[in-house]
Each structure stands twice: as structure tokens, then as C-alpha cells.
Amino acid sequence: MSDAIVELRHVYKNYGDVTVLKDINITLEEGKFYTLLGPSGSGKTTILRAIAGFLNVSAGDIMIAGKRVNDLPANQRDVNTVFQDYALFPHMNVFENVAYGLRIRKVDKNSIENRVLDALKMVRLDNLAYREISELSGGQQQRVAIARAIVLEPKVLLLDEPLSALDAKLRKDMQYELRDLQQRLGITFLFVTHDQEEALALSDEIFIMNDSVVQQSGTPVDIYDEPINHFVADFIGESNIVDGRMVEDYRVKFNGKVFECSDAGMKPDEHVEVVLRPEDLDIVPQEKGKVTVSIDTQLFRGDFYEIVAYDDGQNEWLIHSTNPAPEDGTMVGLYFDPEDIHVMRFGESEEDFDARLESYEGE
């Protein structure tokens, strides 16, 4: 096998007749930062708990370092979890919180001292080793929780929405720190979040969950550029999604016109959805545009203008521009390049999508 450290193969989890994980297939390689991203209730935490060994799956295999661990108790799996609420011991100081797992494992005293101080250095808390937990800020408590998990030198660190309790500014800072920490440690992180910006910023690879299923996996750029379905296009970034028909390879019809595009492999005249990202649309004079719209509203968002316009079929178009739009009610054109058009097939699975992409990229 390659350097896969965790594998989920055809994993299902049912509670009574409710299926909360459906045919989950995930491979995590050594030393990479992975994110499970999806709305609340999509199954992210259940995957984490299944890997950690806090719940039994209903079917499928969970492999860690090439061994099936379905029947192995949590404390014998080579993974560690950082929980959302940190779960620190309030009556112990920082050092003792981090040392706890090593004491349980009967590691000798000198090694404990060295390893705890090393772990605290990693999270930049070595100067606060003897502070009480109650005297720490939220961000510092977060770091203690991480130190406590990494001191055991797991091959995989599981992080369950670890930044959700922090305010926006601190959260941003911690994102940089987490990414940096993962690179310095060189171990695999599996991070759970419902925040798409966080996932895009941190991850080598993202698994997008919805309705108990992995909808799409890939690098942040791949997923952003080539969402495979309506859910992913809508969930990752902002999108204009319009109905269309694939006339033939590389030609798609929407808004009553045929446009060149870079997608292929659909059936002739297949009903499709077309995604155009707001930042890929340029406002131009009406005669130079590919679609004609009327400006409805615009808001200044600090680093761009968010402009809403309508075409004559009353479809809404969202445009992000560094320049303000002409005044409300003005008819303008929207210009976009063929490669800005992303065509999605209805109900296409990830495997079918990958196969189709390969079939025409290889041409």
C-alpha cells in the first residue's frame, strides 16, 4: 500500500432505521492536513468518532496504518482527539493536564518532564506550564488541549471544531498556528468544521459532507473550480447556478444562447446546471456582454462591491467587482470566459465525475 495512514472502506452507521453514514470511503495519507466540511448533522463528527473508536460502525472497515481496527478499543488506536470544548481538567495546572496521558501510560518521570515541555513549546505555552487552567484565555486553553493530544505522539490528530469557541480574530490567528503546527509535526490532521473559508484556507484536501455522504473530495482549488453538484457549488463560495442544456462537447446553452465552455462528456442535449462564480463576471457595456442584465442593488463590502442584477427572465445574478456598478436600473452586459463556465450534471457521483474528467482531459 501507499503511505495511507487511515482508511475508511464502505463504512455505514445506522441508528435504528436512520442511516447517518452511507458508504464512506476516505483515505488519509501521512503528514497531510485533511478537513471534513459540511453543514450541521451531515455526519462529520460521527466519522471522527468512528476513527477514534468512540462508536462502532454498522458496516465497513476502519484501517489505521494498514490494520483493521474495528474491534480495537479507543485507547489502543494510534490517534488522538482535540474536542470542541477542550475537555481539560480544571483542577490541574497546564503541565499536569498535558502529563496526564503519559502518567496513565506509566512513562518514566524524566521522560514525562521532557515530553510535556516539548509539547508545550510546540504550542508556545512553555512559559505558562504551571498556570492553572482557570487563569488561561480561550486561545491558551485551546493550545493546552492540542499539547495534551500531541504529547502522546499519535500518527493522526482528530480535531472536532476546535476553533468554534473562539472569537473571529483569535480564530484567524489559530488557523495559521494550526496549519503551521501540522507542518512542523508532520503528522496527519483530520479537522472538522462547518466553515468553508476555514476549510479552504487550511486543507491539503477537503471531504465535503452532506446527507450522510461524502459529496466530493479534492484540493480546495479543485473543489472550488470544479464543484460536482449543486450542493457543493452552493456550499463552497458563492455561485450563480442556472439551468442549461449541453448542446455538444464544449458547447452549453443557457439564457437562450449557446456558449463555448471547457466541459465535455455529457449526452447531447443533456439537462445540466451551469455555475458562474460572482468574481468571474465582469460588467461591460450591454453590446459587449454575453448576458444582459439590469443592475438592482450594490453593497460595498470593504475589498469588493457585491452587485445584484436581474436578466429578462428574472434570474438573479451576483457579481463581485473591485469597481462600483453603474446606478441601479442601468442595463449592462456580463462578460465571462469559456473556462469560467462550470457545467454540472444532475446527480453525478464522484466516481463518474472523475472518470468523465479523465476521459476528456486525456484527449
Closer to ligand ADP by CB, 21 or 309: give it: 21
Measured in whole angstroms, the distance separating CA 125 from the mean position of its chain's CA atoms is 28
| CA distances from residue 80 to 101, 153, 194, 294 in whole angstroms, order as listed | 11, 9, 21, 54
Rule CB under 6 A: say whether 40 interacts with ligand ADP.
yes
Smallest distance, ligand ADP to C-beta of residue 210, A: 9
Q: Which of 5, 8, 37, 46 lies at the binding interface for ligand ADP (CB under 6 A)?
A: 46
Q: Hey, CA dihedral for 176, 179, 185, 186, is it positive or negative?
A: negative
- Grid cell 481496527 is found at 69
Smallest distance, ligand ADP to C-beta of residue 38, A: 5
Rule CB under 6 A: say whether 162 interacts with ligand ADP.
no
Closer to ligand ADP by CB, 84 or 315: give it: 84
The window from 41-49, 60-68, 174-182, 246-254 that contacts ligand ADP (CB under 6 A) reads 41-49
Q: Which of 35, 42, 193, 239 lies at the binding interface for ligand ADP (CB under 6 A)?
A: 42
Smallest distance, ligand ADP to C-beta of residue 42, A: 4
Q: Which of 35, 45, 81, 215 lies at the binding interface for ligand ADP (CB under 6 A)?
A: 45
Instruction: Read off the amino acid at residue 34.
Output: Y
Rule CB under 6 A: say whether 38 interacts with ligand ADP.
yes
Distance CA 275, CA 256 (A): 16
Judge whether 55 and 46 are in contact, CB under 8 Å: yes
Closer to ligand ADP by CB, 6 or 295: give it: 6
The window from 33-41, 128-136, 144-152, 334-342 that contacts ligand ADP (CB under 6 A) reads 33-41
Closer to ligand ADP by CB, 199 or 274: give it: 199
The window from 36-44, 110-118, 122-130, 244-252 that contacts ligand ADP (CB under 6 A) reads 36-44
Radius of gyration of the chain (CA): 24
Q: Order of strands, edge to edge, in the sheet holding 305-310?
A: 282-284, 331-335, 291-300, 305-310, 316-321
For residue 146 the three cell numbers come to 492540542
Rule CB under 6 A: say whether 35 interacts with ligand ADP.
no
Ranges within 97-126 binding ligand ADP (CB under 6 A): none
- What stretches of the chain adopt beta strand conformation (E)? 4-15, 18-29, 33-37, 59-64, 67-68, 79-82, 156-160, 188-193, 205-210, 213-218, 240-248, 251-254, 257-260, 270-276, 282-284, 291-300, 305-310, 316-321, 331-335, 342-345
Rule CB under 6 A: say whether 193 interacts with ligand ADP.
no
Distance CA 327, CA 296 (A): 8
Residue ranges binding ligand ADP (CB under 6 A):
15, 20, 38, 40-46
